[in-house]
Amino acid sequence: MARPLRIQYPGAVYHITCRGNDRKNIFGDNLDRKKLLEIFVHSLMVYKVKLFSYVLMDNHFHLLVETPLGNLSEFMRQFNITYTGYYNRRHKRIGHLYQGRYKSILVDKEAYLSVLSRYIHLNPVKVKNMLKLPIEERIKKLKGYPWSSLHGYLNVNRKLSFIDYGMVLGEYGGDTEMARKKYKDLLYAELSKDIDIKDKIIGQSLIGRSEFIEWVKEKFIDKDISSEISAVKKIHCYNSVEVIMGAIKEVTGKSPDDLKEKKGVYRQIAMDLLYRFGGLKGEEIGKIFEVGYTSVSQERRRLAKKMQRDRKLWELIIRIEGLCQ
């Protein structure tokens, strides 16, 4: 394939990599790393994405995520645009920060979730200047590396609220101390091995067992991909306009007519939920509120900014989302 496929469906799991343009650093200092994580955590909440593992390196980062709503493109676009805008403003630069679009590998989670989690966590000690060090020294460096989700896998007291540990640790018996020890022992054992997942990736896009590859081919490649994905989304994940509007009314007291007649934050919430939970495009949402699709995008961006600084608004939206599940 000349170009990797972008396959999306509810419940899909991905190994994602973003690299700096011309292999340049994407972080100037730890303030940038903290800001990226802040933006990332917000995006996880907004797009209902589950995070299993991550690592931030100097010029790239790795993520292992699941998209219950089949919305990887929207999630990554918002996340990367927001961070790039922040980085360019802070460092007084213009232009692209990343080397093209993000790279995503669709993962057979039944067979490769733990493998990829360990692969991601080992990144800090797989760089050239680390490979010649004794194993004990590399373990010490790995345990001391702060920009990774590994710590919560090794120590229950260092778990992060935005990481889903249970899925990966389930392979070792669950979210328990024994499971953590098994994960740690296997991780450390792999330090002395030359593990490279590249030769296991099919067509630059897939990693999994033969039955998983065949299922993906039959479902998304051998057929009309765009129409198939659209159908899967509509069947399995999205709610009707009535359900979403009803949830908003139950929490805020605002009826659909109120939302259509008056601008403001409640209308912004309605537009955003219709996009994320209703599966409607900007044009379709615009018709409901009698505005153009660009206005819908602008209102959703304004809401996202408000949510970053207004915790009560965030909690309000979470309450509404709970009725849209």
The CATH code of the domain at 241-324 is 1.10.1750.10
φ and ψ at residue 262, rounded to 5 degrees: -120, 130
Domain 12-220, CATH number (from 3.30.70.1290, 1.10.1040.10, 3.40.50.720, 3.30.1330.100): 3.30.70.1290
Question: CA-CA distance, 66 to 62, in Å (whole number)?
Answer: 14
Q: Mention every residue, 6+ apart, whose C-beta is less than 8 A from residue 271.
A: 285, 289, 296, 299, 300, 303
* Mean pLDDT by groups of 10 residues along the chain of 325 residues: 69 95 92 95 93 96 96 91 92 87 91 94 86 87 95 94 94 91 92 74 82 84 47 44 87 89 90 81 87 88 83 84 73
Domain segments of the chain as ranges: 12-220, 241-324
pLDDT at 1: 37
The three-class DSSP label of residue 68 is: coil
Domains 12-220 and 241-324 in one fold: no
* Tens of pLDDT, residues 198-209: 767 876 788 988
Q: Cα 231 to chain center, whole Å?
A: 22
**pLDDT confidence of residue 180:** 94
- The pLDDT assigned to 320 comes to 86
CA 316 vs CA 104, 250, 286, 305: distances in Å: 33, 11, 23, 15
The model's pTM: 0.70
pLDDT at 236: 36
- Residue 222 has a pLDDT of 55
d(C-alpha 224, C-alpha 222), whole Å = 7
The dihedral of CA 228, 233, 235, 241: what is its sign? negative
